[in-house]
Structure 1
Amino acid sequence: MVAELIWQHKHNPYAAGLPPAPLLETCEHVPPAPWAGAELVGGTAGMEGWENRLIEGDKRLVLPALLGEFAGAVDLIYVDPPFMTERTYRGGRGLAYHDRWQRNLDGYLQWLYETFLLLYRLLAPHGSLYVHLDWRAVHFARLLLDEVFREAAAAGGGFQNEIIWHYHSGGRPRRSRGFARKHDTLLLYTRSRQYCFHGERVGPVRGRERRNHMRRQVAEDGRVCWTIHSGGRLYRYYEDERMTPADVWCDISHLHQRDPERNGYATQKPAALLERVLLASSEENDLVLDCFCGSGVTPAVAERLGRRWIACDQSPLAIEVTRERLLQMGPRQAFCLQRVAGTVSE
């Protein structure tokens, strides 16, 4: 049984089918950019004939436009949507986006619900969805996702993890009474039990730290290991092996104001965060989607790791910043800039 979240004017606009999908028009083709002596981490095999896509437009139009070609075909989706902060985000390069809802929680929930419904249709049977939010709305998002993934949960999919990204930022809480809020939350949902996951790629090396009541020993081959007896069995773990990654990430810093990685876009996330997500939940040549690409970190990391990607945002600044970020990369696969037909960039 799944609890259902109810709000005013809740409805599934796609229950009776999708409306006619808008068309996407290509505004620019950007050729690949090889660098002498450099290679993509994942190589280029299997990408022949593929062109990555950077799309300007509201996800309400872009996602339906993608469904005709990519329904059930996206291997990994990462989204970092507006958090319902009631703020307008600007940077040194101008307006990034408005995250203002006039305290209309019902409107925000309906907007988020429609987003999840479309993303679910795009997700491959073995695919994974990461939703990045904070304390304001993540508890609502989990109930919405439980509903959208209800059928997937019956097949062993659905909710898999709640990941806490704890960052060491400065500052104090605005209110004198209370604990400082120093983390975001990533929710991981999958379409089925057979989803891609490689913890061995991203887990920390065990190292020399003693855990539980383990004993440190030197194996016959000279490798240092830790052993422990449990349930009548002897378990052996080597110092140079990776552990299963935990669901609390404390080792990835947020981007400081003067961090060289910053490109002038508000709410920019560190590349290390997306690298962990992509390495754990995708393979080379897999298709990655981010419909709130913002600073362009998802397509940039996907490019470097040899994944195919589709990145979208309704903010002209986000598209400009992402395009510039990609152009500075090398080597780089070809990509095209698209927008919904009939719209004009501001």
Structure 2
Amino acid sequence: MTNRLYYGDNLDVLREQVKDESVDLVYLDPPFNSNANYNILFKSPTGTSSDAQIEAFEDTWHWNDHAEEAFDQVMQSGNTQAFELLRAMRGFLGDNDMMAYLTMMAIRLIELHRVLKPTGSLYLHCDPTASHYLKLLLDGVFGADKFQNEIIWKRTGSHGGSRRWGPIHDTILFYSKATEPFWNRIYQDYEESYLRDFYRFSDERGSYRLVTLTGAGTRNGDSGAAWRGVDPTVSGRHWAVPTSSLARAYPDQSMVGLTTQQKLDLLDQANLIYWPPRGSIPQQKRYVDEGEGVPVQDVVTDIGPISSQAQERLGYPTQKPLALLERIIAASSNPGDVVLDPFCGCGTAVHAAQKLGRQWLGIDITHLAITLIEKRMKAAFPGIAFTVEGTPKDLASAVDLATRDKYQFQWWAVSMVDAMPFGGKKKGADGGIDGLIYFKPDGKKTEKAIVSVKGGDNVGVQMIRDLHSAMEREKAPIGVFITKALPTSVMEREAAAVGRFQSTATGKSYARLQIITLAELFQGKKPDIPYVDPTAGMKRAAREDTATQATLL
């Protein structure tokens, strides 16, 4: 299976593109926050959300005809247990935003169950707003006996709560398709308090703890025989030699045929036995470096949120740490397995999957997210090969997208010129800034080019003047005007009158205001800009609006 990104509704993509029992692991972080609009992806440098983005997403998860249709689809799915739960929830909640969210999730969870292999697992990441309802839905879709864990992730150090406990955690619900899913035992580092409490002894080799050398119950044979005057059966036990410690101490020596007492002698020779000053049974010294760590626990406190200075930070409000996704993927899949994220957002799950040698599928309903993931993956894995499905591949499909959804068209067009989406103020007031291209005209200092996209049939010279005004205000040396309609001769003259930009590094001049048509984009035309730095936008996004983004994590 080829690594793929899909632009589109994940329900449609799952039904049309993903085969039965073809996925090993599903991770999903479906957006829901009753106090915020869905998927407000970027903030402007001034900290204000793009009005266009709010308008594009504010109608998501409301009870409407789409929610009613999803409710009927669950009824017709054949999963009577899931539908009865959903029907009971509707009777309790009524037709509100939460019910719309649960209904939309129910039909998608049914599809995700279908595409999972029998040994597959699903991890659903959510906050306490809806986790209790989602757990019931998962019980209905997967079966209550397929519940494996409720994982608590401490997502922030502290959070104010004037009349309640500070909310600092997210919930991850872990379900499997079969009763015993595939599982890799994963270890995490010991906490300092654990080391302090248990590894209290030390010698020239390092810190160690004392571990019993006996097991419960008496046995016949050499495991019950006395060794160096110590009889374990006196306390109703027998010798239990730690074979792993013995193998580490003597990697080239076979232990086959040795008696229990001979193995204990070898341990003692390796200085791995502690002899108490008075007649107690000797114990094993287990050093810190012998242990693999603590098996992963269902309370995750050793992976913090993405800090404002973290290299991986993309400025995406709900971005999760790469380490958290790596732990999940390492535990529930093997290299070569297929990982699916149907709400892939900024692409942390597919990034982790690629890093760990898994195949992956990512789905998102916005071109903005797909574009961000494309840039992220190419920056993290130079030369990576993957396909993007659902985005315009020719002029006709681009025109169709412009007609159906002007915002998605704008974000797609911005991606075609390697620009970063820009969340500015209300369109028109700022000249319609849709994207920014960062470049280094002198090879050192980073400048920006402003991108404005027009998908309508009527364009005029005032649009060129608006873009020029935005360039002057933002001190941008270059502006790029992308248009579906052909520009008029007056527009071309107005653009030419803006003048040219001289690059000291290349010794060449460049048109300050450039017009590119859709047809030219598909012919491969790009903005004529010196020293384009395609990763600068991602680095800048990671720095901007630090305080506002941190409150959203």
Scaled by the length of structure 2, the TM-score of the pair is 0.47
Superposition deviation, residue 304 in structure 1: 1.0
**CA shift in 2, pair 1:266/1:217, >3 Å:** closer
- Name the counterpart of 1:287: 338
Deviation string for 1:4-47 (max 9, x for gaps)?
A: xxxxxxxxxxxxxxxxxxxxxxxxxxxxxxxxxxxxxxxxxxxx
Scaled by the length of structure 1, the TM-score of the pair is 0.73
- The within-5 A match list for 1:150-165 is 150=143, 153=145, 158-165=146-153
- Name the counterpart of 2:297: 246
For residues 58 and 339 of structure 1, what CA distance do their matches in structure 2 show? 10
Q: Which of 112, 115, 126 is residue 122 of structure 1 equivalent to?
A: 115
Q: Is it true that 1:204 corresponds to 2:189 in the alignment?
A: yes
Unaligned stretches of 5+ residues in structure 1: 1-49
Superposition deviation, residue 123 in structure 1: 0.6
- Name the counterpart of 2:84: none
| Alignment-mate amino acid for residue 293 of structure 1 | C
Q: Is it true that 1:264 corresponds to 2:315 in the alignment?
A: yes
Whose strand fraction is larger, Structure 1's or Structure 2's?
Answer: 1
Deviation string for 1:45-89 (max 9, x for gaps)?
A: xxxxx421010111121111123xx21010000000012434122
**CA shift in 2, pair 1:59/1:243, >3 Å:** same
- The structure whose Rg is larger is 2
**CA shift in 2, pair 1:238/1:334, >3 Å:** same
Deviation string for 1:237-291 (max 9, x for gaps)?
A: 6523122211000111112344332213221111111011111111001100001
**CA shift in 2, pair 1:226/1:294, >3 Å:** farther
**CA shift in 2, pair 1:60/1:124, >3 Å:** same
**CA shift in 2, pair 1:259/1:101, >3 Å:** farther
| Alignment-mate amino acid for residue 114 of structure 1 | I
- Name the counterpart of 1:330: 381
| Alignment-mate amino acid for residue 203 of structure 1 | Q
CA RMSD of aligned residues (A): 3.0
DSSP 3-state at the match of 1:87: coil
Q: Is it true that 1:143 corresponds to 2:136 in the alignment?
A: yes
Structure 1 runs of 4+ with >4 Å offset: 96-100, 214-218, 228-238, 340-343
Question: How many residues are matched?
Answer: 284
- The within-5 A match list for 1:68-147 is 70-88=19-37, 89-92=40-43, 95=53, 98=58, 101=62, 103-147=96-140
Q: Is it true that 1:278 corresponds to 2:329 in the alignment?
A: yes
Superposition deviation, residue 193 in structure 1: 3.3
Q: Which of 155, 161, 179 is residue 167 of structure 1 equivalent to?
A: 155
For residues 177 and 209 of structure 1, what CA distance do their matches in structure 2 show? 36
For residues 187 and 118 of structure 1, what CA distance do their matches in structure 2 show? 17
Whose helix fraction is larger, Structure 1's or Structure 2's?
Answer: 2
For residues 222 and 272 of structure 1, what CA distance do their matches in structure 2 show? 29
Superposition deviation, residue 208 in structure 1: 3.2
Superposition deviation, residue 170 in structure 1: 4.7
| Alignment-mate amino acid for residue 204 of structure 1 | D
- Name the counterpart of 2:211: 227
Q: Is it true that 1:320 corresponds to 2:371 in the alignment?
A: yes
**CA shift in 2, pair 1:169/1:223, >3 Å:** closer
For residues 271 and 195 of structure 1, what CA distance do their matches in structure 2 show? 23
Q: Percent identity?
A: 34
Q: Residues 54 and 338 of structure 1 are in contact (CA less than 8 Å); yes or no, is this contact kept in structure 2? A: yes
**CA shift in 2, pair 1:227/1:217, >3 Å:** farther
For residues 215 and 151 of structure 2, what CA distance do their matches in structure 1 show? 28
DSSP 3-state at the match of 1:294: coil
For residues 129 and 146 of structure 1, what CA distance do their matches in structure 2 show? 12
